[in-house]
Structure 1
Amino acid sequence: MASDQNFVNFVLDQIKNVGVVTAKKMFGEYGIYVDEKLVGLICDNKLFIKPTNAGREFIENVLEAPAYEGAKPSFLIEDKIEDSEWLSELVRISVKELPTPKPKKKK
């Protein structure tokens, strides 16, 4: 089941003061980017944040699940998705730990 655009917009509106936040369609679902860095996925109207050590410490009681079949486990954000301040802080500290994407090769 593909994610609903209203849910994607809601998630984007919740994440504030972390940089440029965008959602890009990927295989019928969405990748969440901050300043061109992939930080999470939205699949089946669920938010998954890429796991980091700092993110794990911040969340404390981590719930991990794969975003789709065959994917590595990510942090599944359910209860606190409506807490904009908390979600923004999680994204902010996760972005710091995630690697910078490699430049794309010109064709």
Structure 2
Amino acid sequence: MATDSSFVEYVVEQAALDERMTFKRMFGEYGIYLDDKVVAFACDNSLFVKPANATAELTANLPRRPPYPGAKPYPVADELLDDSDQLQALLLATASAMPEPKPKKPRKARE
């Protein structure tokens, strides 16, 4: 089941991180970015936060399951969607734990 765009918009609204937070459609689901770093995925209308050692304590009580077939289990943060402060804290900590995005290569001009 593909994720509804309204679900992703709700996640972004609840996180209250304004223009720092964006999302992109990926294979019928969504990647969620904070400061240009992938911090979560929205799959099957659930929020899967990227696992990191630095966030292990924040995600310790969250259920885990794979966001798509063949993936490792990710913490599922659906229960935090009604608690903006906890959701924001988790997403900020996750962004801090993720590496900087690689610079994009310039496109070659077409002849």
Scaled by the length of structure 1, the TM-score of the pair is: 0.90
Distance 1:27 1:106 in 2: 24
> What corresponds to 2:47 in structure 1?
47
> What corresponds to 1:38 in structure 2?
38
Aligned partners of 1:32 and 1:42 also within 8 Å: yes
CA shift for structure 1 position 19: 6.4
CA shift for structure 1 position 35: 1.3
Q: How does 1:1-107 map to 2 (within 5 A)?
A: 1-17=1-17, 20-107=20-107
For this pair of structures, how many residues does the alignment match?
A: 107
Aligned amino acid, residue 50 of structure 1 = K
Aligned partners of 1:18 and 1:88 also within 8 Å: no
Aligned amino acid, residue 68 of structure 2 = Y
**What SS does the aligned partner of 1:96 have?**
helix
Aligned partners of 2:35 and 2:95 also within 8 Å: no
Gaps of 5+ in 2: none
Deviations 1:43-88 (A, max 9, x none): 1100000001221112331322111011222111122221111000
**What SS does the aligned partner of 1:39 have?**
strand
**What SS does the aligned partner of 2:79 have?**
coil
Question: Bigger radius of gyration, 1 or 2?
Answer: 2
Aligned amino acid, residue 77 of structure 2 = I
| Deviant stretches of 4+, over 3 Å | none
RMSD of equivalent CA atoms: 1.6
Gaps of 5+ in 1: none
Task: Report the structure, 1 or 2, having the larger helix content.
Answer: 2
